[in-house]
């Protein structure tokens, strides 16, 4: 009797393992459906605006790159170190909240504001509106072009999350 119980327990265990611990699994089709339910929804990274104010500065055109998670991660680090003293993503601080910025402004404008801050706040009409709205004016934080593009890609990734 003891031997029969052991064999029965091994048989039940083998069946459970073979069915991926899911007693309702009857086919590989059901198993693959189960696997896709557990996977997070893949984020679709949106396109940058193509029309609108390009700003004043070194960036006159911008070719949208294929989304690169490593670039966005680097941008996140730079955003934390260089931008969060004045900006938050979701709420106003000393400067405006940046949520949705890549859906409202062209990438050229955003990059020029980061790279050519002083001249943008002297001559660009959209930057002048921001200057009037917020107590303190944005200062240059010494970004190079690649760093600015990394921050831009991070903001683009964050803005894409609002579509989920």
* Per-residue pLDDT at 147: 98
* Per-residue pLDDT at 1: 54
The interaxial angle of helices 145-161 and 107-115, nearest 10 deg, is 130
* Per-residue pLDDT at 162: 78
Domain annotation for the chain: domains and CATH numbers: 2-38 (no CATH), 69-161 (1.10.760.10)
User: Nearest 5°: phi and psi at 71?
Assistant: -65, -45
The segments of the chain whose pLDDT lies below 70 read 1-44, 163-164
CA distance 17 to 19: 5
């Amino acid at each position: 009797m003891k031997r029969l119980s052991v064999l029965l327990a091994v048989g039940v265990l083998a069946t459970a393992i073979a069915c991926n611990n899911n007693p309702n699994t009857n086919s590989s089709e059901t198993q693959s459906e189960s696997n896709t339910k557990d996977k997070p929804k893949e984020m679709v990274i949106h396109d940058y605006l193509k029309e609108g104010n390009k700003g004043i500065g070194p960036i006159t055109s911008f070719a949208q790159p294929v989304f690169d998670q490593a670039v966005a991660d680097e941008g996140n680090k730079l955003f934390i170190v260089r931008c969060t003293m004045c900006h938050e993503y979701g709420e106003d601080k000393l400067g405006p909240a940046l949520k949705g910025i890549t859906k409202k402004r062209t990438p050229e404008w955003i990059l020029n504001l980061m790279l050519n801050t002083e001249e943008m706040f002297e001559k660009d009409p959209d930057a002048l509106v921001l200057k009037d709205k917020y107590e303190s004016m944005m200062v240059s934080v010494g970004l190079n072009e690649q760093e600015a593009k990394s921050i831009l890609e991070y903001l683009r990734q964050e803005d894409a999350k609002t579509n989920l």
